Amino acid sequence: QKEVEQDPGPLSVPEGAIVSLNCTYSNSAFQYFMWYRQYSRKGPELLMYTYSSGNKEDGRFTAQVDKSSKYISLFIRDSQPSDSATYLCAMSAYKGNTPLVFGKGTRLSVIA
């Protein structure tokens, strides 16, 4: 079992839809959880960052972490064509220089 599992999609939704993106993980030591957005032929950029469990909201984006289920989610409300990108979850443990572990990314297309 890979440390981080993420459905690669592709996921295609109409403009205005609510999008739900998810990752599961196996390492209970993970404490930091991130979502990165990667446009085609660009580098990833940090979208949301959460420490430990709970929810975090930023505009149309909401990140949720459920450590008991080892499950994280990113919700996008009122999705726009400009949200079309690949979304990668990433996480890391607390101790030492343990690097970020990325999911494979979910490719999202928002159709106008």
Partner 1 sequence: DTAVSQTPKYLVTQMGNDKSIKCEQNLGHDTMYWYKQDSKKFLKIMFSYNNKELIINETVPNRFSPKSPDKAHLNLHINSLELGDSAVYFCASSLTVAGVRGETQYFGPGTRLLVL
Judged by the rule CB under 8 A, the positions of this chain that interact with partner 1 are: 8, 31-32, 34, 41-46, 49, 51, 86, 88, 92-94, 97-100, 102, 104-105, 107
Please, which residue, 19 or 35, has the CB nearer to partner 1? Answer: 35
Please, which residue, 43 or 59, has the CB nearer to partner 1? Answer: 43
Please, which residue, 19 or 48, has the CB nearer to partner 1? Answer: 48
Residues 6+ positions from 29 with CB-CB distance below 8 Å? 93, 94, 95, 98
CB 105 within 8 A of CB 86: yes
> Nearest 5°: CA angle at 11, between 20 and 81?
85
Least separation in angstroms between CB 44 and partner 1: 5
Least separation in angstroms between CB 94 and partner 1: 7
CB 84 within 8 A of CB 110: yes
Least separation in angstroms between CB 78 and partner 1: 25
Provide φ and ψ at 78, rounded to 5°.
Answer: 45, 55
Least separation in angstroms between CB 77 and partner 1: 23
